[in-house]
């Protein structure tokens, strides 16, 4: 649709009247903050985004609500322990995350797609990669951000329990040991859940679908595993050492993986039916499985972002 | 009240591409677990009841219901393509009703059918357990589909709220607070199943009359309100 421009003023003939005006553009010669700074920014923005900070009020509601739901039972337990002058907290530090696994799964399911699916849907990933950051930086920043967000979610109630236990003048050494074991356990849990959630969410640009897929993997596997364990427990009631099958079945869901690992090595009482966790030998398999899954999800994410529909 | 074109479009949106994969994977897992349990433990009524009640009815039916119910309308509202549907001379309640029928059908096929198959594999319909849980899954499919379809029209975070209801309210609060069970689709459908099985294997905390009335009420109200919401739908931008 080229419109003929009327030929206006005749082209000036004199060479000295045509010039390119210097209107003061200057090249940037300040410090370049570089790749690591960009990665750190992506990390901190993703971490803030996981709690809805810097986003609309509506997207703050759910993460904050889940955070409160995680912490309130801990506060109630502390209050009860202080009021009744109990010798011990009603729940172990390591057990707390297992009891609240539904809330943690919901948090992963809602925030993992929030973190990566929207970048895919609005095609902002190519924009990230036009900055100095590389594929690995993007994956590391997102992974670390979601794992940190999960760690905050799972460690905060433990902190409430610990502070409360100290205020209630429970045994200091005992409580500190339990608290440290709990922290190790929730660190592994955060890394594992964040990895699984991100791998699933990074496949789909649709947020709603990502949420459903993550929650399906988390809850269906947990539901299936605990049902099978209950059946295995009922079958082997009469036999000695019948916990073998229960322990092996536990390898197939993220929650029971963490549960088995911490009851083998972190002095936790297992939530498996019959209360018998895996032995040390089987525990090694659990550790290998957990670390393997974390590494595998990191590898899968790296592969996923090698090509991003550029 | 039923528009075949809308139905066809909704079917394609629900079962197209990857959605069908996850919808198909869950029932398949249930059947595989049923086969494994039957092979390891043999036929046992209590085991069958535990597996169908704990895994199929408590976890699988709500999740399939969330995917089908919110998936029938949510993505369309999300990407704004619903305006092309709304600008056609089709009544808004008709659109909702058609989408509800489709969502119910999909939920039933992907949850009640595998429940029935798994039940037969587990104990060959001993004590009517397979039939009872299938009836429960069928009844629950209707209520869940209507409820989650409504959520899809009300909120942009419908999937999350649907899952919060299904997992936190029904599973977590339901097991801790007895009163919460009265307001749970799962218990209402179990009441119907209890009637069908007639034994001690399937029990519910809600009476049959209460359950049927509440089920019908929730379904009708949710569908009606979803139609009303669609009549005055405002399209908002992302966040």
* Inside any domain, residue B92: yes
Of all residues in chain A, the one with the smallest CA distance to B51 is: A227
A109 and B163 within 8 Å at the Cβ level: the answer is yes
Give residue A90's pLDDT band: very low, low, confident or very high (50, 70, 90).
Answer: confident
Domain presence at residue B239: no
Is residue B88 over pLDDT 80?
yes
Shortest distance, CA B23 to any CA of chain A (angstroms): 10
Residue at A21 is within a domain: no
Query: Greatest CA separation found in chain A?
Result: 108
Residue B236 maps to a domain:
no
> What percentage of residues in chain A have a pLDDT greater than 90?
34
Nearest chain B residue to A113, by CA: B160
Structural domains counted in chain A = 1
More confident residue, B64 or A236: B64
Average pLDDT, chain B: 85
Chain A positions touching B55 (Cβ under 8 A) are 220, 223-224, 227
Pick the range with the lowest mean pLDDT from A136-145, A292-301, B43-52.
Answer: B43-52
Tell me which residue range forms the domain holding B30.
4-231
Q: Min CA distance, A205 vs chain B (Å)? A: 12
* Interface probe, candidates A107, A224, A235, chain B, greatest B C-beta count within 10 A: A224
CA separation (Å) from B7 to A98, A101, B14, B85, B99? 42, 38, 10, 12, 6
Instruction: For residue A309, give the DSSP letter.
Output: -
- Is B219 part of any domain? yes
Top mean-pLDDT range of A13-27, A249-263, B198-212: A249-263
Residue B238 lies in a domain: no
**B interface test, pick of A216, A218, A233, A249 with most B CB neighbours within 10 Å:** A216
Domain of residue A174 covers 34-304
Whether B189 is in a domain gets the answer yes
Compute the Cα dihedral for A162, A188, B169, A247 and give only its sign: negative
For residue A269, being part of any structural domain is answered with yes
Residues A25-55: tens digit of each pLDDT: 888 888 888 899 999 999 999 999 999 998 8
Cβ–Cβ gap A212/B67 under 8 Å: yes
How many domains is chain B partitioned into structurally? Answer: 1
Q: In chain A, what percentage of residues exceed pLDDT 70?
A: 90
In a domain, residue B158? The reply is yes
Per-residue pLDDT at A6 exceeds 70: no
- C-alpha span between B175 and B224 (Å, rounded): 31
Question: Which chain A residues have a beta carbon less than 8 Å from that of B75?
Answer: 206, 208-209
Question: Do residue B239 and residue A227 have CB atoms under 8 angstroms apart?
Answer: no
A229-264: per-residue pLDDT in tens?
877 777 765 444 455 677 888 888 998 889 888 888
Write a three-state SS string for A229-267.
Answer: HHHHHHHCCCCCCCHHHHHHHHHHCHHHHHHHHHHHHCC
Residue B239 has what pLDDT?
45
What residues of chain B have any CB closer than 8 angstroms to a CB in chain A? Answer: 18-19, 22, 26, 29, 33, 36-37, 40-41, 46-47, 50-51, 54-55, 58-60, 63, 66-67, 70-71, 74-75, 78, 156-160, 163-164, 167-168, 171-172, 238-239
Using CA atoms, how far apart are residues B189 and B111, in angstroms rounded to an integer? 14
pLDDT value, residue A263: 85
**pLDDT one-digit tens code per residue, A183-215:** 999 999 999 999 999 999 998 887 778 888 898
Within a domain: B137 = yes
């Amino acid at each position: 649709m080229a419109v003929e421009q009327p030929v206006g003023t005749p082209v000036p003939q004199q060479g000295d009247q045509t010039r390119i005006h210097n209107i003061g553009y200057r090249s940037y010669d300040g410090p370049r903050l570089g790749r690591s700074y960009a990665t750190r920014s992506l990390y901190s923005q993703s971490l803030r985004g996981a709690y809805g900070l810097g986003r609309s009020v509506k997207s703050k509601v759910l993460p904050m609500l889940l955070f409160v739901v995680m912490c309130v039972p801990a506060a109630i337990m502390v209050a009860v322990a202080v009021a009744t002058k109990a010798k011990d907290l009603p729940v172990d530090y390591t057990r707390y995350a297992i009891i609240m696994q539904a809330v943690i799964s919901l948090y992963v399911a809602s925030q993992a797609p929030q973190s990566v699916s929207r970048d895919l849907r609005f095609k902002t990933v190519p924009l990230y990669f036009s900055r100095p950051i590389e594929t690995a930086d993007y994956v590391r920043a997102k992974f670390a951000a979601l794992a940190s967000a999960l760690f905050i979610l799972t460690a905060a109630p433990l902190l409430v329990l610990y502070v409360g236990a100290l205020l209630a003048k429970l045994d200091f050494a005992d409580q500190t040991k339990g608290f440290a074991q709990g922290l190790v356990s929730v660190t592994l849990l955060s890394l594992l859940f964040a990895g699984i959630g991100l791998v699933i969410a990074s496949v789909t640009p649709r947020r709603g679908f990502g949420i459903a897929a993550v929650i399906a993997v988390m809850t269906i596997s947990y539901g299936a595993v605990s049902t099978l364990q209950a059946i295995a427990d009922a079958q082997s009631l009469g036999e000695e050492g019948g916990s073998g099958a229960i322990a092996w079945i536990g390898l197939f869901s993220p929650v029971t993986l963490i549960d088995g690992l911490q009851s083998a090595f972190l002095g936790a009482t297992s939530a498996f039916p019959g209360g018998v966790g895996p032995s040390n030998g089987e525990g090694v398999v659990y550790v290998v499985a957990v670390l393997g899954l974390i590494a595998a999800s990191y590898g899968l994410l790296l592969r996923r972002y090698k090509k991003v529909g550029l | 009240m039923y528009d075949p074109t809308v139905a066809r479009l909704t079917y394609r949106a629900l079962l197209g591409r990857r959605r069908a994969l996850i919808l198909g994977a869950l029932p398949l897992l249930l059947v595989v677990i049923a086969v494994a349990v039957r092979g390891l433990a043999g036929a046992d009524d209590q085991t069958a009841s535990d597996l169908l009640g704990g895994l199929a009815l408590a976890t699988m039916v709500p999740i399939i219901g969330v995917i089908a119910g919110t998936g029938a309308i949510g993505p369309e509202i999300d990407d704004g393509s619903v305006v092309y549907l709304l600008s056609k001379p089709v009544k808004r309640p008709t659109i909702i009703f058609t989408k509800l029928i489709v969502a119910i059908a999909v939920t039933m096929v992907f949850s009640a059918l595998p429940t029935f198959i798994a039940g037969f594999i587990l104990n060959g319909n001993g004590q009517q357990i397979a039939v009872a849980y299938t009836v429960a899954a069928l009844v629950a499919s209707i209520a869940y589909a209507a409820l989650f379809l409504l959520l899809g029209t009300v909120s942009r975070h419908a999937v999350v709220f649907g899952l919060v209801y299904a997992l936190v309210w029904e599973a977590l609060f339901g097991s801790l607070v007895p009163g919460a069970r009265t307001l749970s689709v799962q218990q209402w459908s179990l009441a119907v199943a209890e009637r069908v099985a007639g034994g001690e294997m399937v029990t519910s905390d809600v009476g049959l009359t209460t359950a049927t009335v509440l089920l019908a009420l929730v379904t009708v109200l949710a569908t009606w309100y979803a139609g009303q919401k669609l009549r005055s739908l405002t399209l908002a931008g992302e966040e």
